[in-house]
Amino acid sequence: MTKPRELIPFVDLSWQHDQIQDEMQAALTAVLSRGDFVLGQAVKELEAAFAAASGAQHGVGVGCGTDAIALGLSACGIGEGDEVLLPANTFVATLIGILRSGATPIFVDCDRETALIDLTAAEAAITPKTRAIVPVHLYGQMVSPSGLKALAERHNLLIFEDAAQAHLAQREGVTAGSIGMAAAFSFYPSKNLGAIGDGGMLLTQEALVAQTTRSLRNYGAVRKYFHTEPQGTNSRLDTLQASVLGLKLPYLREWNQARNRIAQHYDERLASLREFGIIPMRNDSGTGHVYHLYVVRITADCPLDRTALQLALEEQQIQSGIHYPVPCHLQPAFQSLGYQAGDFPMSEALSQEILSLPMFPGMTLEQADRVIDAIAQAMNSGANLPASSTVLSVK
């Protein structure tokens, strides 16, 4: 019997946490002794530090990325009767955030090779009711800032970035979170900047948007027991989470660079597998791509289908994922929006062919090699594959 090989997880946060173990304990202890658990010092510090790092004027810490979208859009004055453009191929939270603002989501198809929102298709979807566009910097690559700004200027649209996968990403010299009126970030643990629980932040250039979001996250109160915003809720970034995030932030550039190096290595090794129809998503932003995910397309030219390849990887103790298997417009929960199969051909095709490979800072190039070797081996051994096991599931 051969010795089982070491698991290559889809994401491994232990390397990150080992680096800051002692500081993390000290920071948590400091919050405990200060006792400022809600909207404490660490929240204010993180808001200032993350806004500055991202080129934004103001930061407002909230409970999660979904709330950053919902509350942020409301604070920008987006609501009932307004149409908001978003890509069909995004995590469902983009859609949920827009719906919670009261606005009408209008889906737009994507580019097959980058998976980013197709700005030509976005322009074609504009009506007199269109007020905003929510570009998603999917997988860690920004949608072109110049393309977005030109579109927004032509049609007087507000740009609200979903930057939940793109902390400190750059393109055309612009940092994620600083393109338009406002931007939403998530600190879900596996995001590029991740808490040890949920968290999120709204970044904005506008003092009034920041002020309104601060009020919305805190029962709609402008000051204690004086409530001006009927949509107010309770969604504050936890002080303990902010203290951990504040410790991680100084490492983030380095961690993003590590992701980018692993991606370059994957790209180089995968070049030799093009004949098998395995194509990495195109990087149009060089070292500015922060590779929240490393995604390849398993095209029709591939001798194995995607499920067979996932099973072959699993046999080699390698996890993989699909982001995302069902486009938003085809999710059962949102059928009342009136979309159907065939409406967004690129997003639908991509959902069938994408595969996310392991990616996390701390992953070694040897591990990346093992992933590519396993793919190559599966290609060469064709159909002779296990059939009965289930694919390791990851978020």
Ligand X SMILES: *Cc1c(COP(=O)(O)O)cnc(C)c1O
Cα 6 to Cα 314, 346, 373, distances in angstroms: 12, 36, 15
CA-nearest of 265, 324, 257, 249 to 290 is 257
Q: Give the nearer residue to ligand X in terms of CB position, either 63 or 362.
A: 63
Strand partners, 185: 201
Q: Give the nearer residue to ligand X in terms of CB position, either 67 or 372.
A: 67
Given the residues 44, 129, 191, 224, select the one marked as catalytic.
191
Q: How many residues belong to the chain? A: 395
Residue with the two structure tokens 């590519």: 372
295 lines the binding site for ligand X (CB under 6 A): no
Which of these ranges, 33-41, 43-51, 160-168, 266-274, lies near ligand X under the rule CB under 6 A?
Answer: 160-168
Amino acid identity, position 90: T
241 lines the binding site for ligand X (CB under 6 A): no
Cβ-contact 353, 304 below 8 angstroms: no
Reduced to 3 states, what is the DSSP secondary structure of residue 61?
strand
In the chain, the largest separation of any two C-alpha atoms, in whole Å, equals: 70
Q: Work out how close the CB of 94 gets to ligand X at its nearest, in angstroms, rounded to a whole number.
A: 5
> DSSP secondary-structure letter at 167?
T
Q: Which of 61, 200, 321, 327 binds ligand X (CB under 6 A)?
A: 200
Which of these ranges, 10-18, 91-99, 213-221, 333-341, lies near ligand X under the rule CB under 6 A?
Answer: 91-99
Q: Which of 54, 90, 144, 212 binds ligand X (CB under 6 A)?
A: 90
Cβ-contact 193, 164 below 8 angstroms: no
Q: Tell which positions 49-68 bind ligand X, by CB under 6 A.
A: 64-66
> DSSP secondary-structure letter at 136?
B
What lies within 8 Å, CB to CB, of 76 at 6+ separation is: 132, 158, 160, 181, 182, 209
Q: Give the nearer residue to ligand X in terms of CB position, either 188 or 291.
A: 188
Q: Using alpha carbons only, what angle is made at residue 189 by residues 187 and 193, rounded to the nearest 5 degrees?
A: 50
Q: Give the nearer residue to ligand X in terms of CB position, either 269 or 329.
A: 329
CA-nearest of 141, 158, 185, 385 to 283 is 141
Q: Work out how close the CB of 134 gets to ligand X at its nearest, in angstroms, rounded to a whole number.
A: 9
Q: Work out how close the CB of 92 gets to ligand X at its nearest, in angstroms, rounded to a whole number.
A: 8
Reduced to 3 states, what is the DSSP secondary structure of residue 132?
strand
Q: Total number of residues binding ligand X (CB under 6 A)?
A: 15
Site map (CB under 6 A) of ligand X, residues 92-131, x = contact: -xx-------------------------------------
Q: Give the nearer residue to ligand X in terms of CB position, either 188 or 344.
A: 188
91 lines the binding site for ligand X (CB under 6 A): yes
Residue with smallest beta-carbon separation from ligand X: 65
Task: Check if 224 is active-site.
Answer: no
Q: Work out how close the CB of 115 gets to ligand X at its nearest, in angstroms, rounded to a whole number.
A: 11
Which of these ranges, 90-98, 264-272, 279-287, 344-352, lies near ligand X under the rule CB under 6 A?
Answer: 90-98
Cβ-contact 131, 369 below 8 angstroms: no
- Binding positions for ligand X, rule: CB under 6 A: 64-66, 90-91, 93-94, 136, 162, 164-165, 186, 188, 198, 200
Q: Which residues are catalytic?
A: 191
